[in-house]
Amino acid sequence: MSNKKAEMPEESTANGGDSNRIDNSNSGGASSAGAGGRNASQKHIEKIVLQYLKSKGYKDAEKALRENAMLDTAETTLGDLSNAFPASEVGSDASVPNWILFYNEAEQGNPDAYSQSYKELRRWIDNSLDVYKHELYAASYPIFVHSYLDLLGRELYEKAAEFMELYSCDHRVFHSKDISALETLKAKSHIQENELAKLYRENKYGVRMTRVGFELLLSFLQDHHYTLLMRTVNQHLNIRTIDGTVPISSEAEADVGITGHTQNQLDHFNSQEIVLGSASLDPFVRDEVERTLQSEAGRRIKDNTSREAAGMLETFSKIKQDSSVNGLSSREAIPMPPPRGIEIEQQIANLKAVRKRISLGPAALPSICMYTLHNTNNTMNCATVSEDLSLLAGGFSESYIKIWSLKREPLRGLTSNFYPNSVNSVEDAEMLREKTTDDYRKLVGHSGPVFGLDISFDSKYLISSSEDKTTRLWSLDTFTNVVCYKGHNYPIWDVSFAPQGFYFATASHDRTARLWSCDHIYALRIFAGHLSDVNCVRFHPNSKYVVTGSCDKTVRLWDVQRGSCVRVFTGHTGSIDTVAISPDGRIMASAGEDQTVNVWDLGSGRRMDTLTGHTGPVYSLTFSQEGTLLLSGSADETVRAWNQASNSSKPAAVSSSERKKRDAAGIWKSKRVAESEALLETWRTKSTPVYTIAMSKRNLGIAIGAFTLS
Amino acid sequence: MIYSKSTIKNIADSIGVPKLKDGITTAMAQDVEYRLHEIITEAMKFMRHSKRTKLTVTDINSALRVRNIEPIYGFETGRPVKFHKAESAMEDIYYVEDEQIDLDTLLEEPLPSVPLEVVYTAHWLAIEGVQPRIQQNPIPLDADNEDGRPPAKKMAKAQQKSQDGVETIPLVKHVLSKELQLYYECIIESLQSSDPVVKSTALESISIDAGIHQLVTYFVQYVAVTVKNNLHNLDALRTAMAVAKAIRRNPNLFAEPYMHQLIPSLLTCLVSKRLCEDYTEDHWSLRDNAAEQIAEVCRQYGHSYHTLQSRIARTLLRAFLDPTKPLTTHYGAIVGLTKLGVSMVKVLILPNIKAYMTLLSAELEKNNPQLVHDGKRCQEALLNALRALVDKEIATNEDGLTSTSLNSIQKGKLANVVGDAMAGLVFTAKDGAKIVSAVLSVDKDAKETSEA
């Protein structure tokens, strides 16, 4: 124990003492059942000493002890033990006290002990506080590796393989290379041959932990008598306690891992191939749009509309060309239901918008229309506008959703009681609408606060997620609840429609994000991997990926088809509340509690920029249509515009300057925040935290906030 | 540690577990702390997703519900919870006040009004990147101060030439729009022009324009500098007084904070030794004007600054009673006091007239034409001061005398009060009888009160 003391921090010494006491009493109790009138613990120690002598090859001493102590029954047990624990395993590293301290007969004999105790450890980490989760996960990696190697060493090959299969997923993100290498080990002898395994066996693995986190881990292992794991911690880990929080870093730190061996293999993980091109148009829609435009342009009477149509046709062919170069092949794209005609209208409207779009940039800042909600008394949780800017919706703590018409026209839903025979034309259908004159509607159905809202691209559907564990689809023709999707077992924080509708994704407190389609009441994919609540979810413009932000301070990119994680973005120092992807699908921005906005390159998974300046949690982000500007809305009652024009010219530039910025960003606590150079403009509101910021197709900014009396 | 061992013991006692071992209390305390931490972390998530920055009881209950624990009922309020400190010698104990509600009265009360419907309003937060200055947007000036950033267009008012080539350097630095700067320059130019029409137009603009609040400080500064640099230029002083008056008259300006800068200028114009090149010039009207303005200021702001009038009165009285001061100053002091009100005349001037008249007579006898000229003016001023008493006395309807009934007895009485010279003056005045009666009655009242 003496050599351990030198390496472990002070607290561990005290804890080591505790473990001593607990372990002895425990193992004593275990052996007392088998022993008769003899002092149980005495016999137990003798047994261990005997084992030790045997393992070291001190035959005479062993024999003497055996005779003196008259351990006749011990032979069988020891035989098992020596099988389970060959002498070679107790190498020069294992000292006598270590051997005695961490000896638990029940565990030693049980081939499932590693699997069981690691499973418990994993579950315990999963349930621990978010603050400590990361460091505990980091510490569990060497435990995992050594448990695996131990199992191999004990020639329990099947168990080892099973162990690897079950738990390797936890560490693949950060240690994918090492795990794939270790996976190939199939026999005890391989450990001796394999460079990597030897590296792990012969070196101590450095881990950084906070004081509390370390104490929690130790007391967990002690309380449950996981002596095997405890031994690994003692033998192979070099734990350094630090003050403050342990950063989840993507860069190798000097005292983390094994010196000289690259520990962090996140980059390797993030190098998985992804396709970021834009989604190709449905051939039917494409042809139909072309046909419509051509007939418009080719009309005999040359008026404005025909000229416009001609221009739009030009733009459309350009877009078509682009998509044929960068777009996804039909095999790559996710399946969509056949087009209903609304897509064609939508496409033409988009083309119109593109032609009328004001191009924005650092020199040309957008106009922003602010919608302020009054009398909310802090009960509004979320808000959104439809893409055509005709509807505004808000989700409230009182379980209802309220929709306003932004054109101040009455919202009249279709009634359901009519004779189908009497409806012969559109006019007849219009006649069937309700006779209300109110320009707002309340949607009642949820039984808990509504946390997430989204309106489909065609403004026909609204989807809402709530604390009541359900997601509901509302028709905006009838203003009624159409479908209720159940599946999550905890509150759902966010919901988002796919760009072309039909699919939607939810983010929940249950640490998963799920993909749904409107026509199925169960989830099509479950994206599991976040260590804590998933706070927000957004679709990639090509619908092939979803991006999620979580309380575990990471952002993940998921492949919709495979349901697996393909990118992990680390670098935030607080929970992530919002993400946004640029319309070209190459850049992603995330922000949240830590008041900074990070801009990422989706392709490489690297951080491109850290934008500081906000003095409150950031609630919402949006890119301009060209991706040259990033707008952010925050609790600090401001909307800020950030320059993104320079980013396109320097993709994935990770340099020392970036690191410096992060250091500078470490002083958030002071009232004055160092503002990034990219900050172009700050617009203040009158005591209105900005809940949502959006960009219309024509590059008009929309900000929504609830007026709050301070 | 949030909970001490003793707290755990107290709680255990209160629920009927009398003796807890030390080890148990420590473990309990640690575990409770951990659980609390857990719940609060959970509650914070609900707070954030409700887009709030303050944790509420509702958040805690939501967190409990998510953890499958029964929420704690009865603490949810719309308002933030207020903690009160309990008086205790040992430790700080806080509690939430729990009001007792009488159900009977509650039932009899009218129903509370229905909360207002949630509504939305729209406005431009930015138009092509520029925040319009509309009511819905915060005032940029405040924002800049709060932000601590240097304002984008910091244009401290540049040096301003006054009419004598004296530079006016504003002390305050703040954003002044180009338009306002132009306006200011234009106004100052007009004020200096010899054309009375232009001048009066400029003054009228100051006295009615609504959007010139930012310029108030500059105008006040202008008045002060003009008065200081043009003590013998009657025209310039008149203009300055007119500007001062215009600023005060403008209902859209909030001139109160600038009064401390304005009053010294007014006082200077009132009691200064010389306000013109030649004594024959009519500086008297300027002094009358200043006196009028000071009186107005006292009336306007006297209620918020209680000492204002008394301080001004004291200053004037000192000038009035100082025999070394020139007669012009005395004149200003007398006029000023008179304008401040009848009570000032009664209390401050009347008792001193007799002594002052002897001084004045001595001055008049010096045979200096200027002194005689000034002395006459002072006498007139005093007479006017006494005349100010009249109105009030007539109102009280005590006058039994007519102008014809003036006689030597009264003259003697009057001379007792105001001195022979003054009595003579009063008797020669047209409304002498009224003045006499007024002065006498005031004197009688004063004597009675002093005897009582």
Position B21 in a domain = yes
* Domain hosting residue A348, numbered range: 283-356
Residues A505 and A649 in one domain: yes
Residues A617 and A692 in one domain: yes
Q: Which residue from B minimizes the CA distance to A636?
A: B53
Distance CA B131, CA A43 (A): 85
pLDDT (0 to 100) of residue A486:
94
For chain B, say whether A493 makes contact (Cβ under 8 Å).
Answer: yes
What's the domain count of chain A? 4
pLDDT for B184 beyond 60: yes
For chain A, say whether B67 makes contact (Cβ under 8 Å).
Answer: no
- Secondary element (H or E) of residue A430: helix A426-431
Distance CA A214, CA A236 (A): 15
Residues A591 and A702 in one domain: yes
Residues B159 and B295 in one domain: yes
Distance CA B205, CA B213 (A): 12
What's the domain count of chain B? 3
Residues B360 and B296 in one domain: no
CB contact under 8 A, B127 and A451: no
B143 chain-A contacts, CB cut-off 8 A:
684
Position A308 in a domain = yes
Position B262 in a domain = yes
Looking up tokens 């470490």 gives: A666
Residues B291 and B180 in one domain: yes
Which residues on adjacent β-strands are paired with residue A693?
A703
pLDDT (0 to 100) of residue A93:
43
Residues A100 and A127 in one domain: no
Position B198 in a domain = yes
B121-161 pLDDT, tens digit per residue, is 999 998 888 888 888 888 765 444 444 343 333 333 333 33
For chain A, say whether B26 makes contact (Cβ under 8 Å).
Answer: no
Residues B285 and B164 in one domain: yes
pLDDT for A640 beyond 90: yes
The larger pLDDT score, comparing residue B174 to residue A133, is at A133
**DSSP assignment of A269-283:** HTTS----SPPPPPH
CB A674 within 8 A of CB A665: yes
Residues A311 and A256 in one domain: no
Residues B299 and B350 in one domain: no
Position A410 in a domain = yes
The larger pLDDT score, comparing residue A323 to residue A405, is at A405
Nearest Cα residue to B342 out of B299, B396, B390, B310: B390
Of A129, A366, A689, the CB nearest to B41: A129
Q: Is the dihedral of CA A523, A526, A527, A532 positive or negative?
A: positive
B351-380 pLDDT, tens digit per residue, is 888 888 888 888 778 777 788 888 888 888
Q: Which residue from B minimizes the CA distance to A510?
A: B66
Indicate the pLDDT class of residue A154, thresholds 50, 70 and 90. Answer: confident
Distance CA B383, CA B405 (A): 20
Q: How far is A429 from chain B (nearest CA, A)?
A: 30
From A223-227, A484-488, B133-137, B275-279, the region with the lowest mean pLDDT: B275-279
Q: Find which of B37, B44, B48, B131 to mutate to test the A interface (most A CBs within 10 Å of its CB).
A: B48
Q: Which residue from A minimizes the CA distance to B149?
A: A672
- Residues 573-592 (A) with a CB less than 8 A from some CB of B: 575, 577
Q: How far is B330 from chain A (nearest CA, A)?
A: 56
CB contact under 8 A, A683 and B125: yes
Position B383 in a domain = yes
Residues B289 and B378 in one domain: no
**DSSP assignment of A224-253:** TT-HHHHHHHHHHEEEEEESSPPP--SS--
Residues A153 and A93 in one domain: no
B115 chain-A contacts, CB cut-off 8 A:
375, 377
Q: How far is A638 from chain B (nearest CA, A)?
A: 10
Residues A350 and A408 in one domain: no
CB contact under 8 A, B51 and A689: yes
Residues A99 and A115 in one domain: no
Q: How far is B39 from chain A (nearest CA, A)?
A: 10
For chain B, say whether A456 makes contact (Cβ under 8 Å).
Answer: no
Q: How far is A425 from chain B (nearest CA, A)?
A: 35
- Secondary element (H or E) of residue A578: strand A576-581
Q: How far is A691 from chain B (nearest CA, A)?
A: 7
A460-518 pLDDT, tens digit per residue, is 999 999 999 999 999 998 899 999 999 999 999 999 999 988 999 999 999 999 999 99
Nearest Cα residue to B436 out of B452, A347, B421, B407: B407
Here the CATH number for the domain that contains residue B93 is 1.10.20.10
- Give the domain-ending residue among A104, A129, A155: A104
Q: Which residue from B minimizes the CA distance to A578?
A: B49
* ipTM summary value: 0.74
Position B254 in a domain = yes
B58 chain-A contacts, CB cut-off 8 A:
397
CB contact under 8 A, A490 and B128: no
Q: Which residue from B minimizes the CA distance to A391?
A: B120
For chain A, say whether B76 makes contact (Cβ under 8 Å).
Answer: no
Position A430 in a domain = no
At residue A532, the 3 state secondary structure works out as coil
CB B57 within 8 A of CB B82: no
The residue type found at A417 is N
The residue type found at A199 is L
Percent of chain A residues topping a pLDDT of 90: 28
pLDDT (0 to 100) of residue A44:
65
Residues B357 and B291 in one domain: no
Residues B362 and B288 in one domain: no
For chain A, say whether B61 makes contact (Cβ under 8 Å).
Answer: no
A365 chain-B contacts, CB cut-off 8 A:
126, 128-130
The residue type found at A590 is S
Q: How many CA atoms lie within 13 A of A605 on its CB side?
A: 24
pLDDT for A670 beyond 50: no
A502-516 pLDDT, tens digit per residue, is 999 999 999 999 999
Position A171 in a domain = yes
- Secondary element (H or E) of residue A380: strand A380-385
Q: Which residue from A minimizes the CA distance to B36?
A: A129
For chain A, say whether B152 makes contact (Cβ under 8 Å).
Answer: no
A689 chain-B contacts, CB cut-off 8 A:
51, 53
Residues B257 and B171 in one domain: yes
pLDDT (0 to 100) of residue A354:
83
CB crowding B181-219: b at 16 or more within 10 Å, else e: bebbeebbebbbeeeeeebeebbebbbebeebebbbbbb
Tokens of B200: 């009066």
pLDDT (0 to 100) of residue B33:
84
Distance CA B252, CA B207 (A): 9
CB contact under 8 A, B66 and A706: no
CB contact under 8 A, B51 and A619: yes
pLDDT (0 to 100) of residue A56:
61
Q: How far is A446 from chain B (nearest CA, A)?
A: 15
Distance CA A161, CA A167 (A): 10
Position B136 in a domain = no
For chain B, say whether A378 makes contact (Cβ under 8 Å).
Answer: yes
From A27-36, A315-324, B273-282, the region with the lowest mean pLDDT: A27-36
For chain A, say whether B324 makes contact (Cβ under 8 Å).
Answer: no
Residues B160 and B210 in one domain: yes
The residue type found at B56 is T
CB contact under 8 A, A369 and B66: no
The larger pLDDT score, comparing residue A213 to residue A430, is at A213
Residues B167 and B298 in one domain: yes
Residues B88 and B164 in one domain: no
Residues A385 and A326 in one domain: no
Residues A174 and A58 in one domain: no
For chain B, say whether A369 makes contact (Cβ under 8 Å).
Answer: yes
CB contact under 8 A, B126 and A404: no
Task: Beginning with the edge strand found earlier in the chain, give each strand of the sheet holding A587-592 in spatial order.
Answer: A576-581, A587-592, A597-601, A607-611
Q: Which residue from B minimizes the CA distance to A468?
A: B66
Residues 6+ apart with CB under 8 A from A606: A270, A600, A652, A654
* Domain hosting residue B357, numbered range: 337-452
CB B233 within 8 A of CB B280: no
Residues A640 and A552 in one domain: yes
Residues A7 and A91 in one domain: yes
pLDDT (0 to 100) of residue A547:
95
